[in-house]
Structure 1
Amino acid sequence: MSRTQAQSTADSAPANHSKWSRWKRPLTLLFFLALIVLLTMFATRIEWAEVLQTLADFKVRTLLIAASVTLLSFLVYASFDLIGRTYIRQDLTWKQILPVGVISYAFNLNLSAWVGGIAMRYRLYSRLGVSKGNIAKILGLSLATNWFGYMTIAGVVFSSGLVRMPPGWKLSSDALQWVGVLLLLISAGYLAACQFSKRREWTIRGVEINLPSLRMAVLQLLLGALNWSLMAAVIFTLLPSKLDYPLVLGVLLISAIAGVITHIPAGLGVLEAVFVALLQHEASRGSLVAGLLAYRAIYFLLPLLITVVMYLVVEAKAKALRIEKKPS
C-alpha cells in the first residue's frame, strides 16, 4: 500500500466511525421496539389456557425429565459458539459465550433466525467487543455445526429405513433412503475437505472464511447431531410410550425440513402436521397433539420466558462484561 493510500484510509476511518455513531442510537432503539412488537405478537398467538391444561395432564416426573433434557439441549447448542471462539481466536470466556448462545437459540426458535440467530447475536457479541467480521464467522460456524450435524444424524436414520413414508406421499420410503445416503455423502465430503483441501481460505463480501481442521469439523458434526437427538428425546418423553425413539427422531428430522421450507416462525402447525401424518397409525391424534403441545411449552415457550430475563440482565451488565481490546 502506498503512502497516499494509507493516508486516505486513515482519514476515512474517523468519518466511518462518525457515521456509525450517528446511526447507532436510532438503530438500537429500532431493535428494541421491533423485539417488543415481535414478543407481543407471539404472546397473543398462544392459547395459554390450553398450554397450562395440557401440562397439568402430565406427570410431574415426565415434565421434569423433559425440562432437564431441554436444558441439556440448550447448553449443547450454546457450545456451538464455544467452537466459534476457537475458530476466531478471540479471548472470550465460556461465561460470556454460553448466555449469548442460549438467548440466541430461544429467540431463534420462537421469533425466526433473523431475530435470534442473526440480530440477537450481533447485538450481544458487539456488546462484548467482538468485531462484525468475527461475529459473522461465529454465526456461520454455528449454522454449519447445526446443519452438518443434521445431515449426519438424518443420513443415518433415513438410510436405515427406520422411517416409512405414508402411501400417496410425493416422497416414497425408498426415495427417503436415497436422501439419507446423499446426506451422509455430503457430510463425508465436508470432513474430507477439512482434512485434504489445499485451499483453506475464501473471502465472501469482505468476510474471510477459513476451513476448519478435521478435529473441529468432527466436533461440529457430533455436537450438531447430539442436539437434534436431544430435541427428539424431549418429544419422545412426552409422546405415548409405545412409540420407539428412532421413529420419533426420524419424524422430527423430516418435520425440520418442512419447517425450513415454509419459513414459519417456530414451525407453528408444521411440526404437528408431520407428526400426525406419519404417526397416526401408531398412536391416537389426541395423544400426539397433546405431547407436541407440551413439547412446545417446554422447549419453546419456557426457555423464551427465561431468556427474556437473561437478555435484560446481560444488557444491564454489558459494560462489565465487555472485554478489553488489546492494542494491535
Structure 2
Amino acid sequence: MKVSDIDRLKPSRTWRRWLKRGATLVFFVLVAVLLFSLARNVDWTQVLETLRGYSPLLLLAGAGITVASHAVFSSYDLLGKRYTGHLLSAPRVLLVAFVCYAFNLNLGAWVGGLAMRYRLYTRLGLGVSTVTRILSVSLIANWLGYMLLAGTVFSFRLLGLPPSWQIGAAGLQLIGVGLLALSFAYLAACRFSRRRVWHVRGHEIVLPPLRLALMQALLGAANWTLMAALIYLLLPSGMFFPSVLGILLISSIAGVVTHIPAGLGVLEAVFLALLQHQIAKSEILAALIAYRALYFLLPLTVACVVYLLLERKGRQRKREEVSQHG
C-alpha cells in the first residue's frame, strides 16, 4: 500500500473511532436516564426488608453457586494449559484464573482480564506468546458459551418481553439465529478447516481440535447458566429461568458496550426494564444487590489475599533466578 493510500485511510479511521465513542456515550446516557426513571419510585425500605428476608440457607446456596461458577470460569485456563502445553501446575493455573476473573468482574477487562493475567503468568515463568494463547482460549470459551445460550434463548423466544416490547421479538430472534450460526461455524472450522494457524497482530493462534472447542462451549455455557441461576435463586419464586438467563445475557452485552466496570447500573437498568411488569422493583433491586455481594464482592475479597500470595511467590522465583545466574 502506498503512503498516499495510508494517508487517505487516516480520516476514515478517525471518523469511525469518534463515531464509536459517540455511540458509546449516547448508550451510557440512555442507560443512566433509564435507570433513574425506573428507580426513582422504588421503595428502598422494602428493598432492605427483602434483603433481610433472605434466609441463611438461601445465602449459603447462593455462595455455593458462586464457588461453582468461579471454578468453571477458572477452568477455562486449564483448557489453555492443555492447548499450549505449558508446565504450570493445575492448582496454580486455577488460582491465577480465579484472581483474574474476580478483578475482571469488579474493575474491568483491561485490569483483570489482560494486565493482571499477563503479569501473574509471566512472573510465574510463562512467555507473552503463551499467555496470549491462553487468553484467546479463555475469551473464546466465554463468548462461545454466551452465543450458544443467547442464540437458543432468542431464537426460540424464551425471553418474556414486556407487552410494549413485543415488536422487538422478531429482531431478537434474528440475532439469536445469527449467534447460533456463528457458534456452529466456529465448531465446524475446528473440525474441518485445513488451515489451523492464524496470525493476529504478530501472535500465532492455532485453531483447536473439535474436542477442545466443545469443552470451550460446555464450560462457557455452564458458567453463564450458573450466573443466571444465582440471580434466579435470589428473585421471587415462580420466575421463568430462560427469561432470567436472557436478561442477564442482554445486560452483559450492554455492560461491555458502555465499558462500565462491573456493569454497575447497567445490569440493574436492564433487569428493571424487562422484569418490572412481573415483580416489584424493590424485589428486583434486592436480588441484584445480593447478587453483587455474593458474586462480585465476596470473591474479590478472597482474590486480593490470593493475589498477594501469588505476588510473593513470583518475587521468590525472581530472586532464585537471579541467584542462579549470579
Q: Tell me the TM-score range normalised by the shorter chain.
A: 0.7 to 0.9
Tell me the distance in 2 between the aligned counterparts of 1:321 and 1:213: 34
Q: Match of 2:139, as an amino acid?
A: L
Match of 2:310 in 1: 314
Tell me the distance in 1 between the aligned counterparts of 2:165 and 2:50: 31
- Note the C-alpha offset of 1:206: 2.1
1:88 to 77, 81, 84: 84
Match of 1:201 in 2: 197
Q: Match of 1:110, as an amino acid?
A: N
Pair 52,111 (structure 1): closer, same or farther in 2 beyond 3 Å: farther
Match of 2:36 in 1: none
- Note the C-alpha offset of 1:171: 7.0
Are residue 155 (structure 1) and residue 155 (structure 2) matched? no
SS at match of 1:278: helix
Tell me the distance in 1 between the aligned counterparts of 2:51 and 2:260: 24
Pair 52,135 (structure 1): closer, same or farther in 2 beyond 3 Å: farther
Pair 51,301 (structure 1): closer, same or farther in 2 beyond 3 Å: farther
Match of 2:35 in 1: none
- Note the C-alpha offset of 1:223: 0.4
- Note the C-alpha offset of 1:54: 6.7
- Note the C-alpha offset of 1:163: 0.8
Are residue 57 (structure 1) and residue 53 (structure 2) matched? yes
Pair 315,139 (structure 1): closer, same or farther in 2 beyond 3 Å: same
Comparing 152-161 with 225-234, greater Cα deviation is found at 152-161
Pair 218,312 (structure 1): closer, same or farther in 2 beyond 3 Å: same
Percent identity of equivalent pairs: 54
Runs of 5+ unmatched residues, structure 2: 1-45, 322-326
Give the structure-2-normalised TM-score: 0.80
Size of the aligned set, in residue pairs, is 275
Match of 2:276 in 1: 280
- Note the C-alpha offset of 1:56: 3.8
Are residue 112 (structure 1) and residue 108 (structure 2) matched? yes
Comparing 103-112 with 305-314, greater Cα deviation is found at 305-314
1:75 to 53, 71, 75: 71
Tell me the distance in 2 between the aligned counterparts of 1:69 and 1:51: 23
Are residue 224 (structure 1) and residue 223 (structure 2) matched? no
CA displacement 1:45-100 (0-9 Å, x = unmatched): xxxxx999875431101110111000000000000000001111111211110001
Pair 59,198 (structure 1): closer, same or farther in 2 beyond 3 Å: same
1:214 to 210, 217, 220: 210
Q: Match of 2:313, as an amino acid?
A: K
Q: Match of 1:106, as an amino acid?
A: A
Are residue 139 (structure 1) and residue 135 (structure 2) matched? yes
Whether the aligned pair in 2 keeps the contact of 1:54 and 1:294 (CA below 8 Å) is no
Whether the aligned pair in 1 keeps the contact of 2:190 and 2:210 (CA below 8 Å) is yes
Whether the aligned pair in 2 keeps the contact of 1:162 and 1:246 (CA below 8 Å) is yes
Whether the aligned pair in 1 keeps the contact of 2:48 and 2:286 (CA below 8 Å) is no
SS at match of 2:204: strand
Tell me the distance in 2 between the aligned counterparts of 1:128 and 1:51: 45
Tell me the distance in 2 between the aligned counterparts of 1:188 and 1:73: 24
Whether the aligned pair in 1 keeps the contact of 2:50 and 2:283 (CA below 8 Å) is no
Tell me the distance in 2 between the aligned counterparts of 1:255 and 1:194: 30
Comparing 94-103 with 314-323, greater Cα deviation is found at 314-323
Match of 2:177 in 1: 181
CA displacement 1:1-60 (0-9 Å, x = unmatched): xxxxxxxxxxxxxxxxxxxxxxxxxxxxxxxxxxxxxxxxxxxxxxxxx99987543110
1:258 to 222, 237, 254: 254
Pair 77,211 (structure 1): closer, same or farther in 2 beyond 3 Å: same
